[in-house]
Amino acid sequence: MVQSLPAKSGGARFVGALKSGVNFLGVILLTYLGLLAVTFFIGRVMPIDPVLAIVGDRAPEHVVQRVREELGLNKPLYTQFYIYLKKIATGDFGTSVLTSNPVMTDIKRTFPATIELATLGIIIGAGLGIPLGVWAAVRRGGMVDQIVRVMGLIGYSVPIFWLGLMGLVLFYAKLGWIAGPGRIDVSYEYSVTLVSGFLLLDTARQGQWDAFRNVLSHLILPAGLLGYFSLAYISRMTRSFMLNELAQEYVIAARAKGLSETRIIWRHALRNAMVPLVTVVALSYAGLLEGSVLTETVFAWPGLGLYITNSLQNADMNAVLGGTIVVGSIFIGLNLLSDLLYKLLDPRTRIR
Amino acid sequence: MSIIDRALEKSGASIKALPPFDESLPLVPPQPVHTSNAAEPVAPEPVTAVDAATAVAPAAPAAPAAPAFAAPAADPVRPNPPRAAKAPAAPVLIVDDLRVSFPNRDGGRTEAVRGVSFTLGRERLGIVGESGSGKSQTGRAILGLTAPEGLVTARRMEFHGTDLLRSSVKERRALRGGRIAMVLQDPKFSLNPVMSIGNQIVETLRAHSNVSAKQARAKALAALEAVQIDQPERVYKLYPHEVSGGMGQRAMIAMMLIADPELLIADEPTSALDVTVQLQVLAILDRLVTDRGMGLVFISHDLRLVSTFCDRILVMYAGKVVEEVSSGALADAKHPYTRGLLNCLPKLADDRHPLPTLDRKPEWAV
Amino acid sequence: MTRSASSSPGKESLHDWLMSERPHSRRQASLGRAYGAWRTFARNRLAMLGLVIVIALVLVAVFADLLAPYSPYIGDLRTTRLLPPSSAHWFGTDDQGRDILSRIIHGSRITLYVVALVAVLAAPIGLIVGTVAGYAGGWLDAALMRITDIFLAFPRLILALAFVAALGPGIENAVIAIAITSWPPYARIARAETLTIRQADYIAAVRLIGASPWRIVLRHIMPLCVPSVIVRVTLDMAGIILTAAGLGFLGLGAQPPMPEWGALIANGRLYVLDQWWVAAAPGAAIFLVSLAFNLLGDGLRDALDPKGVK
């Protein structure tokens, strides 16, 4: 009996994997280079006087001169770009006009707050969104299906900052159920030592349960808001993917085997739907990070988004660009990661 | 009388052509299924297995259904043609006036299956028809796999005495895989792409019997061996996209037969395979069905294949059975559609110009 | 051939003429197809609702001067400051005594301006890049697609932020910033369609006649990609409106005293805890218009997509 064996030998497969890996790295590098090129263009080429954009219009003359030297503005463009790249590579994003700190320090300080919020948001979004989407697909046309579609429509149409504002009015001003803007009440602010930067973890680890509850009360609305947007997107995509999978032949075959419907939904259809779904979750997380610029403004949440907008309003170019690079890098990273995850999870394209 | 009855009466045929009756063989009394309609008694024919065996051998060269490739000594598809049925066959499956309809775009319903009736013993029944004739939907309706928007009605649908129409969802699910199995067409699509082959086979077993993981794995490996896969341990770990079509189909057969069902519905099991692989897979199927004494419903569009493989043939057109004939008597088929199909089968030796085509008459679809 | 049940002979003949299976001219065929798509679209009530709202938006923007009860720029600080909604001021007044309803009505012009401009800028860029890449193939395709992918991976809002930061706030800068990050999806769609179309026999025929590649791309391939791109643009509109509103909220879009909806919300933010209405109505307007575009886009996609799987 003629059997079929995989055509490639072990060595050929390794080379294939290597090629894909190199290709992927090339894509990553090129994309990051593109981002840096764009920010360079925005920061150095577009403004009429880039130095003024960086140091502000009240800086003394010798500072202006020094910065002009540093940037090498008298040198040709590609040299400037090269200098720029070198600085970014070492993490030198320049100094902030507003805080007089190196931008990197500011970023490191504000970053955890954003991550804390976005992570909670995605946990809500995926944790609720995936089951809801599965339910909507399985009971197609039913109540949950309609709810998912309506929630999706609203999620795609409503401005997140406005919804946050209305939420604050309702739950904070009118009902008093939650705490207001900010991460933690001023009364608790100095009793907590920031270790990881994640207030929930820090207060819990230090056993300060009052502070923990307070932090939670501050977190719940913004995280819920982000969670809602993430949920709207994820549940809609889950529903779509599940509907796709449930129409496949292998589901009919699984039914013909006599498997229970529950098993078919979760271990057959969802497992297959997970492949594109993971990328959706990664992209949603990226979207939450991007939207932090708006939500943090509304909730006075001292994260990277607020830092960027404050710097924007104060024409602090270095800070804006630094923040843009960081958020942009994570965004790009998540995009590329989702591509990679897709390839890894689908056994048909896996490099084994 | 309906139009079709009148048309056929004119041509001197009747709807169900009865096979030739051989006095020397043990009899099974015909089981009348329609009591109201006096015209068509249906007789289950396990005895015609013998006719089929003789028809397969090129001793009947005139039969146009005789496969051109059949070797005189051993038929590669049916090396072990069964002898007469050993015991009086209680019908395994009774289907009476099965109808399957689906909602269509204009708000009404379209009937995909329009009153199909047959009885099946421990024999092989072939259902032949073109795309859209309703043959696949018949198979799925028996298993209860019709899409949720479809409506399945029948006067009777019984499997070994169990009323399929009135069974609960749980009961039907227990039947599926455990007592009635189905093999689908294309293993590329009908095997779960993210589960290994071995795991999928084990899954069937564990859904129907309480075995430990170790025992299940051993049985799965044995099942893979039974379908003539040489390295079962290796294939056990592979994913469906990593094996060829023929191997995938064999794995699917193993997967569906592992719980020892009594009836197998094969829905175009070889249509997605190359011709040479087709014969191999069919031989495996043949041996398994014979060894286990299973009933088989073989759904296909390939009339010649079905005639060599099955004992009885149902020809379907537009949702109805237009002819029921034993495969030995296929040459004497009466219905114009069947004759048309037979006529269209390519003959290597013949020189026919122009090539015959099917001239569809609207009264066939009534 | 479909038969219309209408009694008036004039209507019957137009419907039949459009749905005829043997069109006599190219115009009849294309009109017939458009009519068929329209009928599918019209059957979707939500999509019709979206269309109605979008048309209403256009009408409100055009006739803003007539519809607004008060001036959007002038308010009386003494008597009409921060009034709650009433029969005189349906949405109340803001901190400068201006009627919010009038401001929203005039703000619709800005919304429409942004939407139209971004569509007019981004869609052609995407179409050209996509069709050229798809038709040319080879290194040009690879290079263009690399660039597209790079831009696709950029965060739209953040980059628009940085862009406006460099150029200075203003509605035109906001539009350019959004357009620059919006074209990649259209390029992808156009390229996918081009790859399918270019195998067709009639393209080979046109090439045999001696048409230059530019002519082929412009006159034969691009028109066929337009429907998918239009659907995608409509679906994107909601996101574009939200991004523009976000920029306005951060003070980067239209500058005061222009009543851009996002800026209105920012304005109301300072007083939202007590005078919530100042921020409520503009946000509701944004929501309504985005929703309308989403519904419209969904309906278009269902009508134009032959597979039509919901």
Q: What is the pLDDT of residues A245-283, one digit of tens each?
A: 999 999 999 999 999 999 999 999 999 999 899 989 998
**Is A84 among the domain residues?**
yes
Interface-testing mutation among C111, C158, C260, C271, with chain A (most A C-beta atoms within 10 A): C158
pLDDT value of residue A9:
60
Determine the 3-state secondary structure of B158 from DSSP: strand
d(CA A22, CA C137): 22
User: In angstroms, what separates the C-alpha of A261 from chain B's closest C-alpha?
Assistant: 9
pLDDT value of residue A10:
64
Same domain, A177 and A81: no
pLDDT digits (tens, 9 = 90+) for A303-341: 999 998 888 888 788 888 888 888 888 888 888 888 888
Q: A350 falls in which pLDDT band (50, 70, 90)?
A: low
Same domain, A33 and A153: no
Among candidates B181, B192, B243 on the partner chain, residue whose Cβ is nearest the Cβ of A254? B192
Q: Is B246 on the interface with A (CB under 8 A)?
A: yes
**Is A225 among the domain residues?**
yes
**Is A96 among the domain residues?**
no
Give the domain-ending residue among A89, A118, A134. Answer: A89
Threshold 0.90, pTM exceeds: no
User: In angstroms, what separates the C-alpha of A263 from chain B's closest C-alpha?
Assistant: 10
- List the single range of A177-191, B12-26, B140-154 with lowest mean pLDDT: B12-26
Q: B55 falls in which pLDDT band (50, 70, 90)?
A: very low
The CATH number of the domain holding residue A323 is: 1.10.3720.10
Same domain, A53 and A143: no
Residue B11 has phi, psi (to 5 degrees) of -85, 5
- List the single range of A209-213, A254-258, A298-302, B288-292 with lowest mean pLDDT: A209-213
For chain C, which chains pass the contact test of at least 3 CB pairs under 8 Å?
A
d(CA A215, CA A208): 11
- At residue A234, does pLDDT exceed 70? yes
Helices C100-136 and C138-152: crossing angle in degrees, nearest 10, is 150
Same domain, A54 and A139: no
Same domain, A192 and A267: yes
Same domain, A256 and A153: yes
Same domain, A81 and A111: no
Nearest C-alpha neighbor of B46 from the set B65, B27, B21: B27
Same domain, A161 and A310: yes
Given a contact cutoff of 8 angstroms between Cβ atoms, the answer to whether C167 and A298 are in contact is no
A5 to chain B: closest CA residue: B243
Q: What is the number of structural domains in chain A?
A: 2
* Partners of residue B153 on adjacent β-strands: B99
Same domain, A63 and A144: no
> Tens of pLDDT along chain C (310 residues)?
444 444 455 555 778 777 777 778 888 888 888 888 888 888 888 889 999 999 999 999 999 888 888 888 887 778 878 888 888 888 888 888 888 888 999 999 999 999 999 999 999 999 999 999 988 888 888 889 888 888 888 888 888 888 887 777 888 888 988 998 889 989 998 998 888 888 888 888 888 888 888 888 888 888 888 888 888 999 899 999 999 999 999 888 888 888 999 999 998 888 888 888 888 999 999 999 999 999 999 888 888 765 533 3
Interface-testing mutation among A140, A161, A163, A297, with chain C (most C C-beta atoms within 10 A): A161
pLDDT value of residue A122:
95
Which residues does A159 contact at the CB level (< 8 Å), separation at least 6?
Answer: C242, C245, C246, C249, C262, C265, C283, C286, C287, C290
Among candidates A53, A157, A289 on the partner chain, residue whose Cβ is nearest the Cβ of C294? A157
**Is A9 among the domain residues?**
no
**Is A143 among the domain residues?**
yes
pLDDT digits (tens, 9 = 90+) for B206-223: 999 889 999 999 999 999
Cβ neighbours of B203 in A, within 8 Å? 257, 259
Same domain, A74 and A223: no
* Partners of residue B298 on adjacent β-strands: B126, B266
pLDDT value of residue C11:
57
Cβ neighbours of A118 in C, within 8 Å? none
Same domain, A111 and A248: yes
d(CA A65, CA B324): 100
Cβ neighbours of B103 in A, within 8 Å? none
> What is the mean pLDDT of the segment spanning B345-363?
80
pLDDT value of residue B345:
81
Say which residue the tokens 């996918």 belong to.
C192
pLDDT value of residue B83:
41
Instruction: State both tokens at C145.
Output: 């697609």
Cβ neighbours of A253 in B, within 8 Å? 182, 184, 190-192, 252
| ipTM given for this complex | 0.84
Domain that holds residue A54: 14-89
**Is A195 among the domain residues?**
yes
- At residue B70, does pLDDT exceed 50? no
**Is A149 among the domain residues?**
yes
- At residue A133, does pLDDT exceed 50? yes
Same domain, A235 and A275: yes
Note whether B192 contacts A6, CB cutoff 8 Å. no
- Side-chain-side CA neighbours of B357 within 13 Å: the count stands at 4
Q: B60 falls in which pLDDT band (50, 70, 90)?
A: very low
Q: Do chains B and C touch (3 or more CB pairs under 8 A)?
A: no
Interface-testing mutation among A103, A163, A165, with chain C (most C C-beta atoms within 10 A): A165
**Is A212 among the domain residues?**
yes
Cβ neighbours of B140 in A, within 8 Å? 252
Given a contact cutoff of 8 angstroms between Cβ atoms, the answer to whether B134 and B114 are in contact is yes
DSSP secondary structure, B188-210, as one string: HHHS-TTS-HHHHHHHHHHHHS-
pLDDT digits (tens, 9 = 90+) for A196-231: 778 887 777 778 788 888 888 888 999 999 999 999
User: In angstroms, what separates the C-alpha of B275 from chain A's closest C-alpha?
Assistant: 14
Helix runs in chain A, H state only:
10-40, 50-55, 61-71, 77-89, 103-138, 143-157, 160-167, 186-189, 199-205, 209-246, 249-256, 261-263, 271-299, 304-313, 317-345
Cβ neighbours of C287 in A, within 8 Å? 154, 157-159, 162
